[in-house]
Amino acid sequence: MPELPEVETVARQLKPEILNKVIKKAIIHDTKLIRLNVDKIENTKIADVYRLGKWIVIDLVNTENGKKQFLCVHLRMTGRLLVKEFDHANMKHLRVEFQLDEGQFYFQDVRRFGVIELLDSLDSVQPKGIDPLSCELDSKRLHNMMAGTRQNIKTWLLRQDKLVGLGNIYASEILYAAKVNPQKQAGDISYNEAKSIFTHTRNILKKSIKNCGTTFSDFQNAKGETGEYQKYLKVYKREGENCRVCGTTILRIVQQQRSTFYCPNCQK
């Protein structure tokens, strides 16, 4: 499933391509999955495009009455928002097509898990946790959030009611960079460890965004290209290989039914 960097990548790439353009026509190609009211979408101007948690939000303003609405997209496993030109004969998994006054963009989804909704308010998609890239989070607040928690730190980082957008790949990479053992209880994390986790969370997410996210199987950005950050992963999916710092064999354990990769020497 796309994590924060992948969703941010799509939003950033989509914005300059569709901003200030008018949706002239919305064509639903999968009426069983997509139940959008096209009458409310057509003749709306795209006022903004941004990420909200793991949602991509497209602000729409009706060109006739000025009413504002929000087109919200959650990519889930295989959803894609694309702005590149397509041969419709090869668009087997096309779900929605948005024709603009200049150009077009598409919602494609192979496994049909993605969600696309037209909302009058963002209340239902507001994340419960804090965005790790927002100014609301610092090392002190992160440490306080962990206090008294018996849950292991790897699983805690995946909790969307705590931090929004972190997934399995980045949680393993962050803890490796911070030299924190993934099995340690979150409540036992020291302030210095929390500071290191905070710093590396920011650094890793920003570097991944710069490299258009991570692709192992399905993720493609808004231009139909795969991400490049998998080239920089230090532990994820490297079980049995040597740690690039100390040479110790990378291990894999299962926590809450998710694979965790770590170096038992660097992360004692």
Amino acid at 218: D
Same domain, 11 and 57: yes
Same domain, 9 and 87: yes
Catalytic residue among 84, 202, 258, 264: 258
Look up 54 and say whether it is catalytic: yes
Given 94, 125, 156, the domain boundary residue is: 125
41-70 pLDDT per residue, tens: 999 999 999 999 999 999 999 999 999 999
62-104 pLDDT per residue, tens: 999 999 999 999 999 888 899 866 555 556 788 999 999 999 9
In a domain, 245, yes or no: no
Structural domain count, the chain? 2
Same domain, 101 and 169: no
Amino acid at 34: I
Q: What is the pTM of this model?
A: 0.91
Q: Given its phi and psi angles, is residue 39 left (phi above 0), alpha (psi -120 to 50 degrees) or beta?
A: alpha
Q: Give the pLDDT confidence score for residue 214 in this predicted structure.
A: 81
In a domain, 61, yes or no: yes
Cβ-proximal residues to 148 (8 Å cutoff; 6+ apart), any chain: 187
Q: Is 105:84 a contact under the CB 8 Å cutoff? A: no
Look up 141 and say whether it is catalytic: no
Which of 77-81, 153-157, 218-222 bottoms out in mean pLDDT, i.e. has the lowest?
Answer: 218-222
Look up 15 and say whether it is catalytic: no
Same domain, 113 and 148: no
In a domain, 151, yes or no: yes
Same domain, 112 and 213: no
Catalytic residue among 51, 54, 154, 238: 54
